[in-house]
Amino acid sequence: MWEKIRIVFTIPELRRKILLTLGLLAIYRVGSWIPLPIIDQSKSLFTSSGDAGLGKILENVATFSASQLDNATIFGLGIMPYISASIIFQLLGSVWKPLEELQKEGESGRKKINEYTRYATVVLCLFQSWIYVKFLVGQNMIDSQFLVGGALPLSWYFVSVMTMTAGTVFLMWLGEQIDEFGIGNGISLLIMAGILARMPKAGYDLLKPLLTGNLVLEGGTGEMGVAKLMVLAMLFVAVVVGVVFITQGQRRIPTQSAKHVRGRRVYGGTRQYLPLRVNQAGVMPIIFASSLLMFPALGFDMLNRVYPTAFFREAQDSLQSYTAYTHNVLYVVLIYFFCYFWTAITFNPKDMAENLKNFGTFIPGYRPGKRTTDYLEKVMVRITYVGAGFLALVAIMPMLVANMANIDFTLASFYGGTGLLIAVSVAFDLVQKIDSHLVMRNYRGLLEK
């Protein structure tokens, strides 16, 4: 492995791409610690917001948006507005005819959609940053020297909104530079960097008894012992292996191409396969489900503040608490729903059947056209059920680990959830892009034995 890594850095073009990517990611991490000028840096947003539903929404969003919401930095919004705009245009592409036609125009259509996405990102940034600054004022996160009569002046509202908008646009530009001149998917690498940046503190909290010399053989309730550390280490490896297995899993449907006789030569007639991913929806169902589940909790929290009753308080706890049975059941149901919803949007069996027919390829035993479309749809429904079950298991794994091992949920979140899925998926994509450069120069890939 070390010899392969050495070979990677001996290729000038690949070395330049990797160093440029690392440099741009370092710029992102430095900017993530530059706070807005109006913020009282002695306070943390998640701490000041307590257990309110909105605070937990922000904490979840910070995990998968490459943002620093808890410290209110210039990159406080991260790239979430850009992700939201991309999702909006992807959804509109399946229901709005002009945008659907634009998607079929190839490279020129893609560039036009990217241009619209950038404009929509700026609009979303202006709106979200204004709401975010209002929330900071409501949580008493503003330094007293910027307040006039107990309120934040409109001029500082404008400065903060413009700063956060410029920060998100700069992150979007960084991602595009990585795409063009670096290696890997720029936006995904920014998200992965934000997730991995949380690991050192979580690892220190886990190994703190070992580093301070207070580690015991078998920890009691709330204590970290050698046995618990070994179990957590093996569980982490098992979860990562499972995520890799399902993420790379495919349902390969055999296909047969028709023979074509041209002159004295015969073309086609080969047997191939059509790969369908088990986890077709990726991490989007978990993102949608976790975000949507927080809004009812936020609603009950507001009702409880206006009309304090035991019913509203218990309803909020059942939807918000990670240990609540209602929360976990609704979480799983929403993940299944969004898995089928997202797969129905991104996977079109009719178009795929038409493409197979146009290229003279068919699935043995099924006539081209409607029979092939029905078969592909049936297969996708079945494998989506398995993929949704896998996503549901990974999503609730941190809650199970936190309850059984009696450790902090932030630490347990590295045993599953959106962060682990994103990190593994982006890592595989990065390795595959490096392998393509190695194979092109007649070297063996990093994953080859």
Tell me what pLDDT residue 133 has. 87
Judge if 157 and 251 occupy the same domain. no
Q: DSSP states of 192-244 as a string?
A: HHHHHTTHHHHHHHHHHHHHTT--BSS--TT--BHHHHHHHHHHHHHHHHHHH
Judge if 86 and 187 occupy the same domain. yes
Q: Kindly state whether residue 256 falls inside one of the protein's structural domains.
A: yes
Tell me what pLDDT residue 167 has. 92
Judge if 179 and 326 occupy the same domain. no
Kindly state the DSSP code that residue 35 receives in the 8-state scheme: B
Tell me what pLDDT residue 102 has. 84
Answer for the pair 423, 415: CB distance below 8 angstroms, yes or no.
no
Tell me what pLDDT residue 47 has. 54
Tell me what pLDDT residue 207 has. 72
Q: Kindly state whether residue 425 falls inside one of the protein's structural domains.
A: no
Judge if 130 and 244 occupy the same domain. no
Judge if 147 and 85 occupy the same domain. yes
- Determine the structural domain holding residue 88 and report its residue range: 1-197
Judge if 121 and 228 occupy the same domain. no
Measured distance CA(372)–CA(375) in Å, rounded: 5
Per-residue confidence of the chain (449 residues) as pLDDT tens digits?
677 778 888 888 888 999 999 999 999 988 888 888 888 777 666 555 544 445 555 555 666 565 666 667 888 888 888 888 888 887 787 778 888 888 778 778 888 888 999 999 999 999 988 988 887 887 777 888 888 877 888 888 899 999 999 999 999 999 999 988 998 888 888 888 888 887 777 777 777 766 666 655 555 444 566 777 777 778 778 888 888 888 888 888 988 887 766 777 766 667 888 888 888 887 778 777 876 777 777 777 778 777 788 877 777 777 766 667 787 888 889 889 988 988 888 888 888 888 888 878 888 888 888 899 999 999 999 999 998 998 888 888 877 777 777 776 667 776 666 777 778 888 888 888 888 888 887 777 776 66
Judge if 274 and 168 occupy the same domain. no
Tell me what pLDDT residue 442 has. 74
361-391: b (≥16 Cβ within 10 Å) or e:
bbbeebebeeebbebbbebbeebbeebbebb
Tell me what pLDDT residue 266 has. 66
Judge if 250 and 191 occupy the same domain. no
Judge if 171 and 223 occupy the same domain. no
Measured distance CA(124)–CA(285) in Å, rounded: 22
Residues 6 or more apart in contact with residue 368 via CB below 8 angstroms: 353, 356, 357, 362
Domain boundary among 197, 223, 257: 197
Answer for the pair 368, 387: CB distance below 8 angstroms, yes or no.
no
Q: How many domains does the chain have?
A: 2
Q: Kindly state whether residue 427 falls inside one of the protein's structural domains.
A: no
Tell me what pLDDT residue 221 has. 47
Judge if 232 and 114 occupy the same domain. no
CATH of the domain at 170: 1.10.3370.10
Tell me what pLDDT residue 177 has. 93
Q: Kindly state whether residue 257 falls inside one of the protein's structural domains.
A: yes
What is the reported pTM?
0.79
Tell me what pLDDT residue 299 has. 77
Measured distance CA(276)–CA(343) in Å, rounded: 11
Measured distance CA(413)–CA(407) in Å, rounded: 10
Q: Kindly state whether residue 18 falls inside one of the protein's structural domains.
A: yes
